[in-house]
């Protein structure tokens, strides 16, 4: 973590506190937390592992969320929105592979197709967990 990273988090906290309306703060915090998972992962020598580990962490969080739901409770709109945001963030963070951005949370993200395959496998495992829970 560099000084620039710290300044970005400080600026984000100030924006969060001063600008984000109270009704959107939960969603803003979700997006910022997912970004932080990727941004705080140090660069690793193994190819794409600095992207894969945060994605696996995100998948584990979703699995825990599935396992701790009240039995028989269907997914709400908020649950579906949170899941779409999580998957969307994982896909959005592959963008620096194709476009030069000033902020790049990982050294070089994998291709979108590889991430889609990984997310599909994670979704299949999540569906299996939901069936068995």
Q: Where are the domains of the chain?
A: 3-132
Secondary structure element (H or E) that encloses residue 131, with its range = helix 112-132
Residue 77's pLDDT is what? 92
Spatial contact of 40 and 12, defined as CB atoms under 8 Å apart: no
Spatial contact of 82 and 34, defined as CB atoms under 8 Å apart: no
Residue 124's pLDDT is what? 93
Residue 58's pLDDT is what? 94
Task: Give the length of the chain.
Answer: 133
pTM exceeding the 0.85 threshold for the entire prediction = no
Tell me: the pLDDT tens digits for 27-81? 999 999 998 898 888 888 888 888 899 999 999 999 998 888 887 788 889 999 9
* CA–CA distance, 3 with 70 (Å, rounded to integer): 42
Spatial contact of 116 and 48, defined as CB atoms under 8 Å apart: no
User: Cα–Cα–Cα angle for 131, 82, 48, nearest 5°?
Assistant: 85
Instruction: Considering only residues 99 and 105, tell me which one the structure prediction assigns the higher pLDDT.
Output: 99
């Amino acid at each position: 973590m560099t000084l620039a990273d710290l300044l970005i988090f400080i600026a984000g906290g100030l924006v969060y506190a001063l600008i984000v309306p109270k009704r959107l703060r939960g969603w803003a915090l979700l997006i910022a937390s997912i970004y932080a998972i990727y941004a705080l992962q140090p660069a690793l020598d193994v190819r794409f592992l600095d992207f894969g580990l945060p994605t696996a962490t995100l998948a584990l969080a979703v699995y825990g969320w599935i396992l701790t739901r009240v039995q028989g409770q269907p997914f709400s709109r908020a649950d579906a929105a949170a899941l779409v945001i999580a998957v969307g963030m994982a896909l959005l963070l592959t963008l620096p592979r194709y476009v030069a951005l000033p902020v790049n949370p990982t050294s070089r993200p994998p291709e979108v197709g590889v991430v889609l395959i990984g997310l599909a496998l994670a979704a299949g495992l999540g569906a299996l967990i939901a069936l068995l829970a």
